[in-house]
């Protein structure tokens, strides 16, 4: 870093190098902008380092162990299967290292300058970057804020050795014998499932009426069945009150059904949401408008009320999803270059890597009806699919939401094996304005899980082949 009183000038500065920031920087550089990206911690942000990627690695390890122990009905009998958790963590860290190293290579390959340090806005054209030893002023024509979010800490559950956030849960040195998870959203259920597969006794405490409130109840019921088969206790309408810690464990106090109760465990994992990183970066100095929830207000091009400052990812409205941030990063970079790019969230999927997986895109059946749309909700079960049977993964279904008047696909929900991959086809269908007939007439390879999309489309048309109408 150049240090001195003279500011460094650049076209576009990106603050934050997560899935939103690094994608924005690369696209801006591809469009001819001179780009500087500022990161105070690790390239790749939360997603690559302590979120999406390491959690999926841990989930995969859990699946492998669980499947090795529970494949007797397929004639696969494995005795004395063990987990070397040090090796699991080493492998998980290797996956992270490959991806973060790849991000650095991509940024350098696109000639984006990487600056390490903490950014603070001075005005709408100037910011300071500080590290432990120095500070440097930068002048920019355009700025993209991609500072992400952090776990919410409950006052009565201060993070510690035994009270963990998601980062702490991903970096345990041993598989715990027991764990309480506060919050039954996607992070809590994913990590709870992973550790349950590895042999941990898991208890999930959720304050709402049900876990995974962002998904339809008929989908989450299948996930709950899977969790309970692994010995997970799920307590809904439960209010966590506090925790007593010892050197060897915790006692979590909560209220449910009007009674004060306790549960003992080695650790308690708190996953009650995330807070946007919009404090202490000088937004007020630049006059950037915020919402009541502490999010940055943006328009259809991710532009704030300050015309040359953009914001993307977890610090703006919408679900805190890595792929949403990447999408917005491209929009912002293209808008700066004068292209007519605008955000349209209709085709953005949401996925939860539970067992089985959950995925949704576009309208749900309930949302479509609330909008007053005349729809067809067509379901096809995994149990009627040859590939699902051969995988011994028959729990689940695909539901296709189509407009009655013309068969236009406006939504889809999947619960089942491979849902995270299958949802992409239906997102493309929505984005492309396809009808049920378009999907039904697309020849899908046999036997594959992808055929379920085709079969559901045929149900929507009233002419299913592999289930009785």
**Which residues are identified as catalytic?**
446
C-alpha triplet 249, 252, 255: angle, nearest 5°? 170
Q: Is 147 within any annotated ligand binding site?
A: yes
Q: Is 192 within any annotated ligand binding site?
A: no
Residue pair 278/293 in contact (Cβ under 8 Å)? The answer is no
- The CA distance from 236 to 373, in Å, is 32
User: What is the DSSP code (8-state) at residue 387?
Assistant: H
Q: Is 56 within any annotated ligand binding site?
A: yes
Structure tokens at 349: 């999927």
What b-and-e string marks burial along 386-412, b requiring 16 or more CB atoms within 10 Å of the CB? ebbeeeebbbbbbbbbbbeeebbbbbb
Specify the pairing of strand 8-15 against strand 135-145: parallel
**Closest by Cα among 318, 374, 375 to 346:** 318
Q: Which residue reads 């500065």 in tokens?
A: 13
Q: Is 437 within any annotated ligand binding site?
A: no
Structure tokens at 295: 């999010």
Q: Is 190 within any annotated ligand binding site?
A: yes
Give the helix/strand (H/E) hosting 222: helix 217-229
- The CA distance from 400 to 380, in Å, is 9
Q: Is 148 within any annotated ligand binding site?
A: yes
User: What is the DSSP code (8-state) at residue 297?
Assistant: P
Q: Is 433 within any annotated ligand binding site?
A: no
Q: How far is CA 104 from CA 38, 185, 305, 311, in A?
A: 12, 32, 31, 22
- The CA distance from 300 to 342, in Å, is 5
**Closest by Cα among 125, 44, 462 to 307:** 125
Chain-centre distance of CA 319, in angstroms? Answer: 9
Q: Is 189 within any annotated ligand binding site?
A: yes
- The CA distance from 355 to 186, in Å, is 12
- Three-class secondary structure of residue 346 per DSSP: helix
Q: Is 297 within any annotated ligand binding site?
A: no
Q: Is 242 within any annotated ligand binding site?
A: no
Residue pair 446/386 in contact (Cβ under 8 Å)? The answer is yes
Q: Is 120 within any annotated ligand binding site?
A: no
Can you say which residues are annotated as belonging to the binding site for NAD(+)?
183-190, 206, 273
Can you say which residues are annotated as belonging to the binding site?
56, 147-149, 183-190, 206, 273, 314
């Amino acid at each position: 870093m150049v240090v001195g009183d003279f500011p460094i000038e650049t076209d576009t500065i990106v603050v934050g190098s997560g899935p939103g920031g690094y994608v924005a920087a690369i696209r801006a550089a591809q469009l001819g902008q001179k780009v500087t990206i500022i990161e105070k911690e690790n390239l790749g942000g939360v997603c690559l380092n302590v979120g999406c990627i390491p959690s999926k690695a841990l989930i995969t390890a859990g699946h492998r162990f669980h499947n090795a122990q529970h494949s007797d009905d397929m004639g696969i009998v494995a005795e004395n299967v063990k987990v070397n958790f040090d090796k699991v963590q080493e492998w998980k860290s290797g996956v992270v290292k490959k991806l973060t190293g790849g991000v650095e290579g991509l940024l350098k390959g696109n000639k984006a300058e990487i600056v390490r340090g903490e950014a603070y806005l001075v005005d709408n054209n100037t910011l300071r970057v500080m590290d432990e030893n120095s500070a440097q002023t930068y002048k920019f024509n355009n700025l993209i804020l991609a500072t992400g979010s952090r776990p919410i800490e409950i006052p009565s559950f201060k993070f510690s050795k035994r009270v963990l956030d998601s980062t702490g849960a991903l970096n345990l040195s041993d598989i715990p014998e027991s764990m309480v998870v506060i919050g039954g959203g996607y992070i809590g259920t994913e990590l709870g499932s992973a550790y349950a597969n590895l042999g941990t006794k898991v208890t999930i405490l959720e304050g709402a009426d049900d876990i995974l409130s962002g998904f339809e109840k008929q989908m989450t019921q299948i996930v709950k069945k899977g969790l309970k088969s692994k010995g997970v206790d799920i307590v809904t309408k439960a209010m966590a009150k506090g925790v007593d810690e010892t050197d060897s464990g915790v006692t979590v106090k909560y209220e449910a059904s009007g009674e004060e109760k306790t549960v003992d465990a080695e650790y308690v994992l708190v996953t009650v949401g995330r807070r946007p990183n919009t404090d202490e970066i000088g937004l007020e100095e630049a006059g950037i408008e915020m919402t009541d929830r502490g999010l940055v207000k943006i328009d259809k091009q991710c532009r704030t009320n300050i015309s040359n400052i953009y914001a993307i990812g977890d610090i703006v409205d919408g679900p805190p999803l890595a792929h949403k941030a990447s999408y917005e990063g491209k929009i912002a970079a293209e808008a700066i270059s004068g292209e007519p790019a605008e955000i349209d969230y209709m085709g953005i999927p949401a996925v939860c890597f539970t067992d089985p997986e959950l995925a949704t895109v576009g309208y749900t059946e309930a949302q479509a009806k609330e909008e007053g749309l005349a729809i067809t909700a067509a379901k096809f079960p995994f149990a009627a699919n040859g590939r699902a049977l051969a995988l011994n993964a028959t729990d689940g279904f695909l539901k296709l939401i189509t407009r009655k008047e013309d068969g236009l696909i406006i939504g889809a929900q999947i619960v089942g094996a491979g849902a995270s991959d299958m949802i992409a086809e239906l997102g493309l269908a929505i984005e492309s304005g396809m009808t049920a007939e378009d999907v039904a007439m697309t020849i899908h390879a046999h036997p594959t899980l992808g055929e379920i999309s085709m079969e559901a489309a045929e149900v929507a048309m009233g002419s299913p082949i592999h289930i009785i109408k």
